[in-house]
Amino acid sequence: MSRASLSSACAAMLRRDLTLAWRRRGDIAMPVLYALIVTMLFPFALGPEDTLLQRIAGGVVLVTVLLAMLLALDAMFASDIEDGSLEQLVLAPQPLALMLGMKILAHWLTIALPLIVISPLMAALLHLPGAVIPVLLLALLLATPLLSLLGAVLVALTVGTRRSGMLLALMLLPLCVPAVIFAAGAVAAAQQGLPWLAPISWLAAALVLAVVLAPLACAAALRIALDS
């Protein structure tokens, strides 16, 4: 058997995951619908005052996107565990971290990207000023891959367990606190007309760190969880 080159293996991995996601398009729509519904509930619960909604808009959109991603996180490796392809991936000659990185990228493309696309609508529903929306998008573009990467490590750790939904939320909360703080901080600063570049830079720095370390940690976690 000739070894496939690294780049073609990566491309194959990405294509496979994206094809699988495309075959079940309905699943992609679910997090988006969930996020929209949660956003809609806030005006009902808090009253339709413009000023109040404007103040909480940035935070609500961020937390809603985070929760929608958390719900979808569970499924990251689920089908691969069921049909055994994850074991094959671990045994494959290509570095596991790189392959998992591709899986995380595919997951981000199918789950987080639709959420980012829909987020201006969510923000508009809550009357977030139009001038702030680019900052919100930038913050989401940096924060969602960070959450996908951190979440992937935790999902890999819980691969061998039965009930992982609530557990994932409990484990992810401490890890996502900095991401939420910086993303929401940037939006709040932009809304008050303050410079917002500093928190965005921190997010970008965290993302660079996570892009390098998280796939390695994910591979290590998966090896621990599958080793029995």
Residues in touch with other proteins (CB under 8 A): 153-154, 157-158, 160-164, 167, 170-171, 173-175, 177-178, 181-182, 185, 188-189, 202, 206, 217, 220-221, 224-225, 227-228
Shortest Å distance, C-beta 6 to other proteins: 26
Which residues of 45-110 form beta strands (DSSP E)? none
Closest CB to other proteins among 124 and 177?
A: 177
Shortest Å distance, C-beta 194 to other proteins: 9
Closest CB to other proteins among 31 and 185?
A: 185
Tokens 């061998």, residue located: 160
- Pair of tokens at residue 178: 């900095």
Query: How many Cα atoms are found within 13 Å in the side-chain-facing hemisphere of 209?
Result: 10
Residue 180's nearest CA partner among 75, 68, 73, 58 is: 58
Closest CB to other proteins among 43 and 59?
A: 59
CB atoms within 10 A of CB 31: 23
Shortest Å distance, C-beta 214 to other proteins: 10
User: What's the rounded Cα separation, in Å, for the pair 138 and 124?
Assistant: 16
Closest CB to other proteins among 145 and 185?
A: 185
Contacts of 85 (CB under 8 A, 6+ apart): none
User: What's the rounded Cα separation, in Å, for the pair 60 and 62?
Assistant: 5
Shortest Å distance, C-beta 184 to other proteins: 8
Shortest Å distance, C-beta 183 to other proteins: 11
Closest CB to other proteins among 35 and 60?
A: 60
